[in-house]
Each structure stands twice: as structure tokens, then as C-alpha cells.
A and B are shown apart, each in its own frame.
Chain A
Amino acid sequence: GQSLEQPSEVTAVEGAIVQINCTYQTSGFYGLSWYQQHDGGAPTFLSYNALDGLEETGRFSSFLSRSDSYGYLLLQELQMKDSASYFCAVRDPGNTGKLIFGQGTTLQVKP
């Protein structure tokens, strides 16, 4: 089966850098993606890594190591509005569109 593990909570201060890790187990790998969800809101797509290395999108970067079955989301210059839940996700190889989500990491940014 497929499973993802990420920390349940992370706390950081405004202006700092925070890293949210994700390890995965899957029988077929098609890439790792990240979503952000503010409390009660819709998940929104942040980034996607199909190959090893770092992808940068503004203040957010995502990293993947396929050999380690590991990825992380890096948030720089944290702002209060970054307080949200962050989910990593992989695609179920048996269903070409289904996403399997991690349990989510709640990021709290403090002043």
C-alpha cells in the first residue's frame, strides 16, 4: 500500500525558515506534491517534484530524494499568513488520478 508520514505540528517565528518533512512508501512513484490548507478552506496546490532536487517557487521550495523516499517543503521569510496545514501527497499507482495525502502538518507562525 501507500503511506506518507509527516510531523503533526511545527512552530516557527515570523521571518524564520521552516522545513516540513515527508517520507513516503509507495509501490509506484509518480512524484510528490504539496498542498496548503488554511483552517476550513480548500487545499491549494503549492509544488510538485517528479525528479530529485530542489524546485523553487518564490518563498517556497520543495525537495525530493527518490532514493531516500523523502521530500520536504521549505518555507522562507515566514509570514503570519503562512500559518496553515501542509500536506504532502503521492499518486496511487492503481488509479491514475487519485491522490493519497499525508495527515498534514500544522504550521503555527508566531510574531
Chain B
Amino acid sequence: EAQVTQNPRYLITVTGKKLTVTCSQNMNHEYMSWYRQDPGLGLRQIYYSMNVEVTDKGDVPEGYKVSRKEKRNFPLILESPSPNQTSLYFCASSLYSRDRGLRGYTFGSGTRLTVV
């Protein structure tokens, strides 16, 4: 089954304790992205990657890191989480072309992160 897999689904952590949210896709998609979703603010892009070893900042990259060492994996790293990073996070992937990104964004199931 074609899918984007995120782990964990739920995470409660303390301020300053480094954490990683994993994301893996099995569709051979070039493009991967992380979004966070907050009430009243909608979905905002954190980081994206157009292919292996190619990553760039989205709209709200502060406090996050990513890496793309393999095509299928795109982990999100919070080096020193803070309470304002409490949010619902989604990983997404798509084929890289001028219109495919609109047609075929596949989202993971989400990670609900709470930082206390």
C-alpha cells in the first residue's frame, strides 16, 4: 500500500529534550515536506526537500532541523523543544513536477506533540 508513515503518533516531552519524528514514504517520491497545524493558523510548511541531500526552509523553520540522506526518509528533528512547538505535525510527499505537487500530495497520519 502506498503510504507515508510517521512515528510516533503521539509524544509528550519536556522542554529541551531532543527528539526526532520519523517520516518514511514507499512511493519513490522526490518531494517531501513537513507541515505543522495549529488552530487558527492552518497548515504551515516547516521544511521541504526536493530530493536526496536537497533541503530548504519553509515558512516556520525556527527550532527545527531536517535531513534527507535517503529518498524514502525525511526525519524532523527538534534539538531543544519548547512549549511553542506543541502542535500537530504532518509529513507529506509528492512526485516532483510542475503540477503533480498539487495533484498528489500524500500526507502521513500526523504526530501530535506536546512539550511541557
Contacts and interface: CB of A to CB of B under 8 A. Distances in A.
Contact of B110 (A33, A41, A50): A41
A40 B88 contact: yes
Interface in B35-55: 40, 42-43, 45, 48, 50
A98 B45 contact: yes
Contacts of A97: 31, 33, 48, 50, 94, 96, 101
Size bracket, chain B contacts: 20 to 34
Interface of B: 31, 33, 40, 42-43, 45, 48, 50, 56, 58, 88, 90, 94, 96, 98-99, 101-110, 112
A16 interface: no
Given A97-B48, A99-B102, A41 B109 contact: yes
B102 A30 contact: yes
Contact of A91 (B88, B101, B106): B101
Size bracket, chain A contacts: 20 to 34
